[in-house]
Amino acid sequence: IKPHLKIYTLPGTNGDTVMQGLDSLAVRCKEYYEGGARFAKWRSPLVIDIEKGCPTDLAIKANMRDLARYALICQSEGLMPIVEPDVSLSGTHTLEQAVDINIKIQAELFKAMIDHGVYMPGTTLKPNIINPGRDCPVSYTVEEIAEANIYVLEQSFPVAMPGANFLSGGQTLEQGAARLSAMNKVKGNAPWNLSFSWSQAIQLPLLDLCKGKGELQFDEMSKLYVEELKIASAAALGAHCWNDGDGDHVGKVKAKEAVLA
C-alpha cells in the first residue's frame, strides 16, 4: 500500500517538496490492515541541485521526519513500513557530492526514526543507489559507485535494520544489476542484506516487446521476465557477471564543449 497523498512544494526552497497524507494516515492504515494489507511504502522524493542549494536542510528534515512519523503510525496499526528516501538521478552533481548529501539524508532519517520510537528491525529501507547526476561530466567505474554506496551505508545505516532493497530510479536493468552485484562483492562483513525493489527497470523492457503489436505478448513477456529476475537475483547475491561498461557512469560533455572539440 502506498498511503502518501499529493506532493507539496515547500515555499522558499527553490522547488523542494514533501508528501502529504499524515493527518489521516492512522485511520487509513487501519482500513488497509482490515483489507488484508501488511506492508506500506512512503516515498519522499528529493532532487540534488548544487546551484540552487537543494535539497535544503528544511526539506531534508521535513521529509525524514515525515517518514519517521509514517513508520511509527504504520507499526501501531500492524503494517510493516518501507521507508523510501528517493534522491533523483537528475542533475550534474558528482559522486562525491551525492555521497555527502545522501549521508546527510539517511542520518537525518534514522535519527528521526529512533527519536519517534520506531522499532527499527521491523522496518526496511528502499533507497536510491548513490550515483553521480545523470549529466555529471565526471566518469566513474561501477566499482567506484559500489564502494561509494557501501561507504554511505557504513556511515549511517543502523545494524538493527536487516537490509536495503534498492529502487531502480531511472536506471536500466543492466545498470542497476551491475551496481548492485558490485556492491555485494565489496560489502565484506557488512551485516545487511542488499537486494532490489525494481519496477521500471524490469517492466519497461516487457512493455517494449508489445510496441506496435496491438496486444500483450504474453509468451515473450513471460520468458523475458524470468530472465530479468535471474539477473536481478544474481545481483542480490553478488553473482551477476556484467558486461564491460554496464554500471559505469560515462561523463557527459556539455554541448558547448562538444562543439569546440
Active site positions, annotated = 84, 126
Instruction: Find the length of the chain.
Output: 261
Q: Cα–Cα distance between 179 and 136 in angstroms, integer?
A: 17
Q: DSSP code of 14?
A: T
According to DSSP, the residues that pair with 166 across neighbouring strands are: 196
Phi, psi for 35 (deg, rounded to 5): -85, -5
The Cβ-side half-sphere exposure at 81, using a 13 Å CA radius, reads: 27
| The three cell numbers locating residue 28 | 487509513
DSSP string for 133-158: -TT-SS-B-HHHHHHHHHHHHHHH--
Q: What is the chain's Cα-based Rg? A: 19
Cell (9 digits) for 69: 512519523
CA 188 vs CA 137, 160, 184, 195, 242: distances in Å: 30, 18, 8, 15, 20
Taking the C-alpha atoms of residue 235 and residue 44, their distance in angstroms, rounded to an integer, is 26
Q: Is the dihedral of CA 165, 169, 173, 175 positive or negative?
A: negative
Beta pairing, strands 7-9 & 193-196: unpaired
d(CA 206, CA 157): 34
- Taking the C-alpha atoms of residue 38 and residue 122, their distance in angstroms, rounded to an integer, is 12
